[in-house]
Chains A and B, each alone.
Chain A
Amino acid sequence: MNDGNGWASVVNRREAFLGLGAGFGSVALTALLHADPTSSSSLHPSAVASPLALAKRCIFLMMEGGPSHIDTFDPKPELAKRHLQEFSRSGEMESAMSSGKRYFVKSPFDFIKAGQSGADISTPWIHLKEMVDEICFFRGAQVESVNHPTACYQLNTGNQFGGDPAVGSWVTYGLGSPNENLPGFVVLPRTSYPQGGAGNWSNGFLPAKFQGTPLRPEGSPILDLSPPAGISRQRQRKNLDLLSELNRQHLESRPGRNDLSARMDSYELAYAMQTEVPGVIDIEGESKNTLDAYGIGDASTDSFGRKCLLARRLVEKGVRFVQAYAGNWDSHDYIEKAHGSLIRSVDKPIAALLRDLKQRDMLKDTLVVWCGEFGRTPDNGLRGGGQSYGRDHNAKAMAMWFAGGGTRAGHTVGATDEIGGQAVECVHHIRDVHVTLLHLLGLDDNKLTFYHAGRHKQLSQFGGDVITELLA
């Protein structure tokens, strides 16, 4: 693959076309991926990050499916007393999910008070419990939907019906990317995309370059990154040479057509990407200690371990926003088994990530967010005709935590009621979480706007408040 001719040719071509005297090192991979020279708008013109903000980048650990707060970080001893007692809910706001015979379900897990801060954490978290003093737990968040795709959209884009830009798109739109050799917003999805699909990292109405770039865990990390079988790199280079020759002749009679020359450039960038991207995502150069720490190589933790390590590598190289998916936390049936193995699959990788960031002195300016699209209910309906220790969806209470980036380490903010049915203290709509996240990154939701369809649009949709209790 690494044929000298190809490279020389790329550099010469770029020099010829773009007047760049540098080699590939200075070619922006952001541009490689999403170069859109025809687009008039690039970064938000006036959203200069506040210099006071500590967070410079964000790693968003997205636990899709709805992890249970009651079985992770929000113990409810009251449920042990009411275990298997019947619980009736009513009212026109209740869905079919909440009708029928229902009963309380205690958590199958014990809880301990961990760290100096004495944070509540369930016992399956054997690694993360060592890191709780770096964490600010939040129990006050609420969303509006109890359906996965709508809740995911709301959490990721602020709009439960989708179509709007993702948080990561807004952040890169506001802050750009310090290292132009990488895309600003990278998504590390599971092999199966979440409900709602790629709409969860859409650029919405923002320019295409702010779209999340998913690095697929299997197969080609980016679609069509390699030519079909049988086409050598040399052959491809020659084809591209003919292409640029024909395009150049076409352009001669159309001087000043920037859209055409931009399109020509995009081919050179695409060509270069084919070797650049695999290099960026190759983690084999990491030490065995590191790989072990993240649980890479151990079947139960390998998948998310790779994502966490890749997230660190990406932010270290200047990626602004990384969102890594884990799941599926939709445990309607067996909390003990399902949440047990899910916690095991993320516990070690996350602890390693926090520790790694801390050791590299990056935790102070890297905001780490952990949450799902909603929480779970303290009760369950009959499953397959019988009782089963699982939980349904709950939009009124959920688990969420923050670490680093100017958040209030070693604290637990807000509270849910005695059964974990809904948030009752420091209650905030998810839009306030969005506003707070932007604030931590030095962005003001009210200023980070984009004019579209006749309105200045913003992540929070119509404005929201910073949750000051979460700030250091």
Chain B
Amino acid sequence: MPDKEYNARSTVVGRLWILYTCEELARMKRALWYSIVFGLVVAATVDGSTCAQGAEGVSEFSDAEKLFALQVKPLLAEKCLPCHGADPNEIEGGLDLRTLADLQVGGDSFEDKVLIAGDGQHSMLYVTTTRAEEGYEMPPKEADQLTAEQQRWIRDWIDAGAPWPSDERIDLIERAYAKGEQVLVSKALSQQWQNRRYESEKLWAYRPLHQTEVPRDHHPIDWFVDRKLAAIGLPPAPPADATTMVRRMVFGLTGLPPSPDQVTSFTAAYQVDPDEAVATLGDQLMASPHYGEHFGWRWLDVVRYADTAGFANDYSRPNAWRYRDYVVRAFNADKPYNDFVREQIAGDEIDESNIENLIATGFLRMGPWEQTGMSVFKETRGQWLDDITDTVGQAFLAHSMLCCKCHDHKFDPVPTRDYYSMMAVFSTTQFAERDASFLEHENINGFDASDKWVDAKIAAYETQKDELAAKMKAQRKEETLDAKVGDNGLDPGDEASLARMSKNITRHDIERDRTRPIALSVYTGSTIHRSNVSGRIRLPKDRWMKGEIETDVIHNGGDVYSQGDPVTPGALSAAESIGQMSEIEFPDTMDSDGKGKRRLALADWIVDQTNPLTSRVIVNRVWSWHFGQGIAGNPNNFGGTGGLPTHPELIDYLALWFMDNGWSIKKLNRLIVTSQVYRRDSRHPDPKALAEKDPLGHLYATFKPRRLTAEELRDAMLTVSGELNPAVGGIPCRPDLNREVAFQPRQIMGGTASVYEPDPTPIQRNRRTLYAERIRGLRDPFLETFNQPGPDKSCELRETSTVAPQALTLINSQEVFDRAIAMADRLIRKDLASDDATIDRAFHLAFGRSPTNREIAACVAHWREATAEESMITYPSPDFPDQVSRTVMAEKTGQPYSFVEIMPAYSNYTPDLGPADVDARTRGLAHVLRVLLNTNEFSYVD
């Protein structure tokens, strides 16, 4: 049995290992380095027997010795030694597994029954791994449990007498027989890790891109996908019809529903020449500014865009919107992806006189972060460094870097040293809200309204505060005791209110910067200790004078106070070695002044044509945006635990094609949408065969239907109701949101945050959801219910759950009700010839198709009946008071108090069209339309 396992035919690349420290590597000329390393590479195709002849003295090794050296020993090291030997002072249960002698002595519990040489079945070393012994399941973590095969290795090795060859012999056996690949990386924390081997297939993402020749006259995507389908004998589904196609493409490329006109013209063109029609529509859609909005939010999901900083204060990030618009612009202008990457990581280091570059570096500031008087700067600085290292890893390289912060990566060839080398890239990066005049193509509308609201809000607080201060001054008594105990004659609610108002004035004051020419940005310089950050950080005159240049070290165990080996800026060493990357020099090696352009080096490293990861990562993302799943299953994780590519040759082909085509996302989109694979029906003519041969839907025999995202759903409702303001870009808008949530007191540091006030006019509010202010501490319940991810973690792909609160929102919420009224009003004003025609129009708007006769009949009857009911009901005009009274707890006394908050937005608030504004017939129609907005057909794209 074991023979079969390790003699199985396999490709073996044994690389003799040379240890380098990072510093040595940095000093060493890369070319020389690689020549040394690869000069020593021993590569052989092995299948046990043939190899045995090749290696010196191997015939002396017994199968059991080989089993031990190749399987059992590494297994013990990985799964058992952490508690049974790695730390001689903390040996769990008295069982030390470092040597055979220790093992024979056994532990506290099973003593000499741990290892009964020749009797694996009864040796507790084996029994515990089968998890049959209650209370002694080993390893204790279920996530670490041994596979059945691994359990057998241990049993078989004991059965064979438990031979434990010397280290020299083990070394010889490894060289001759070891399966899997060793990987050249920078120096690991442990020798054990350094020497470990990886399953070859799990290293796919690091390998140089492999070019496959696609026969002429074949669409490459179709060729790769259909080849695989043909191999399993599963014919693909036929092309989707025109109505389905146009809806799929318009939603897919712009996130909006097709207009009836778009449907009509596409349908006509599709009948003449489907290929041409699809290509033309694709180009038209990508020329629309809504394309950049739609692709922009996908990128913003990855980088976790928000307009506030999160945590205790959740301060506004008043200029974040300029980064959001930069992303939209980049997609609309089809900025080459390599430039897009470089600008976001190192725009300021490339050319800080270029304002677009400064705005782009907002990327580096997207994570939640704050420094309050309560926090320790060294720790919050460390949190940002962790955050940005991990985010850059996930966003551009599909590597979850945090996994190797405390220990060498458990699964992937990423040692902790690489983590801290990449972190060192950012240790001279400093926050600043930099002067950056507005660019010609930025939307600077609405500044006045925004400023006026902020001014009015602050003024209202100032007035209240002055009144309160005067009242308190009159009331205040000298405290008689030896210290303040609250016996000051003041109403504790007043004291709390004073603090609350001061805090909110600070918070709103920050919002004044929203309309000022400032970029949320960074600079390169020394680290200045900041004990409290509650507003703009300005660029220092001399960037290196104040503060200190951080020492770049490994923090042992991830502890920011623990200083380990020094490191210098760098990136993923495995990508360099396996990927055979060209040499990229990083600045600031040990002897330099530390003032180099580290981020620029990393950006260049990332977008280097020989970097095996970058282009694979982005083509996989774009693919997943079209198909709802990546070619590789986890767009943020190309490591061994992420989903392996279903079509490895295709992802490589696309990655190369993408770089050959100027890193153009639009060209890639065009390639995708013009493929037959993209244009397939979502239904298969032979569902049984489909279910049998492609149960997971990974082979693209059909197009995978999807539910609209939260943003698409809201935008689609606003589109069909005719209320959408299609303006592109600009300061965040504030849509109406559930008023119970909007007015719910929200705790922040030192008090209660101001309530959420929507923008006063419908045209301001009813913009695409992308532009809705994203407040980390106050999520829009509608969007959250429909799976909009929280802005704290990078989201690689949206999830879709179906839960009853979604139905409650769609059938009961004021927002959806308003959309239905507006849509009804729009239709009634059309004054179409008949009720049937009105319903027909409604279906075209909502679904892009004509209703069936059955549908018309049902809807018209429903409309009439509802109109009759509605004619009996009168709706009062809604009242929107411009102040709200709320009750919260006073921290100082632990007792509730009430206060009144002024809401300037409501002093001139124009509600959306409501039931009181329209007649019964319109309201009756609105009932039908609300049903249409609730249908599966409205929510899904086939």
A contacts, CB < 8 Å to B: 31-39, 46, 65, 84, 92-97, 99, 108, 146-150, 161-163, 190-199, 202, 207-209, 216, 219-220, 222-230, 232, 235-236, 238-240, 242-243, 245-247, 249-251, 253-257, 259-260, 262-264, 266-267, 269-271, 273-274, 327-334, 336-342, 345, 383-384, 386-389, 392-393, 444, 446-447, 449, 453-456, 458, 463
Contact = CB atoms under 8 A, between A and B. Distances in A.
A51 to B, nearest CB: 12
Given A191-B888, A195-B747, A254-B683, 15 more contacts: A95-B531, A96-B532, A108-B485, A149-B310, A197-B746, A198-B779, A216-B740, A228-B812, A239-B927, A250-B937, A259-B940, A263-B802, A266-B803, A338-B891, A342-B894
B811 A328 contact: no
B243 interface: no
Contacts of A330: 891
26 contacts: A93-B378, A96-B374, A161-B383, A162-B792, A163-B792, A192-B745, A192-B888, A197-B778, A243-B931, A250-B935, A250-B937, A259-B802, A263-B807, A266-B802, A328-B747, A337-B894, A387-B482, A387-B484, A389-B484, A446-B140, A447-B141, A454-B400, A454-B641, A454-B642, A455-B410, A456-B142
A263 B939 CA distance: 10
B705 to A, nearest CB: 8
Given A161-B792, A250-B935, A270-B804, A228 B142 contact: no
Contact of B807 (A93, A161, A270): A270
A294 B373 CA distance: 39
Nearest to A38: B802
Contacts of A257: 705
Contacts of A228: 812-814, 817
Contacts of B778: 197
Contacts of A97: 373-374
Interface of B: 140-143, 310-312, 368, 372-376, 378-379, 383, 400, 403, 410-411, 482-486, 492, 531-532, 561, 634, 636-637, 639-642, 682-683, 687, 705, 707, 738, 740-741, 744-749, 752, 777-779, 781, 784, 787, 790, 792-793, 800-809, 811-814, 817, 852, 854-855, 858-859, 862, 865-866, 869, 873, 875, 887-895, 915, 927-928, 930-932, 934-937, 939-940, 942
Given A35-B804, A454-B637, A331 B312 contact: no
A466 to B, nearest CB: 11
Given A92-B561, A96-B373, A207-B801, A191 B744 contact: yes
B740 to A, nearest CB: 5
Given A147-B311, A246-B931, A340-B894, A446 B812 contact: no
A242 to B, nearest CB: 5
B748 A227 contact: no
4 nearest interchain CB pairs? A456-B143, A454-B641, A192-B745, A334-B486
Contacts of A463: 140-141
B636 A267 contact: no
Q: Which of A149, A220, A226 has the most CB of B within 10 A?
A: A149
B495 to A, nearest CB: 8
B374 to A, nearest CB: 5
A239 B531 contact: no
Contacts of A341: 893-895
Contacts of B892: 331-334, 337-338
A60 to B, nearest CB: 19
B613 to A, nearest CB: 16
A230 B873 contact: yes
A223 B891 contact: no
Nearest to A93: B376
A209 B482 CA distance: 55
Contacts of A342: 894
Nearest to A97: B374
B140 to A, nearest CB: 5
Contact of B741 (A150, A223, A393): A223
Contacts of B940: 259-260
Nearest to A220: B740
A260 B936 contact: yes
Contacts of A242: 858-859, 862, 928, 931
B450 to A, nearest CB: 25
Q: Which of B312, B784, B787 has the most CB of A within 10 A?
A: B312
Contacts of B141: 446-447, 449, 456, 458, 463
B807 A387 contact: no
Given A223-B781, A338-B893, A95 B804 contact: no
B146 to A, nearest CB: 14
Nearest to A164: B793
A90 B687 CA distance: 70
Contacts of A191: 744-745, 887-888
A65 B865 contact: no
A223 B936 CA distance: 22
Nearest to B387: A161
Contact of A259 (B375, B532, B707, B809): B707
B298 to A, nearest CB: 18
A240 to B, nearest CB: 7
A263 B859 CA distance: 21
Contacts of A148: 312, 747, 749
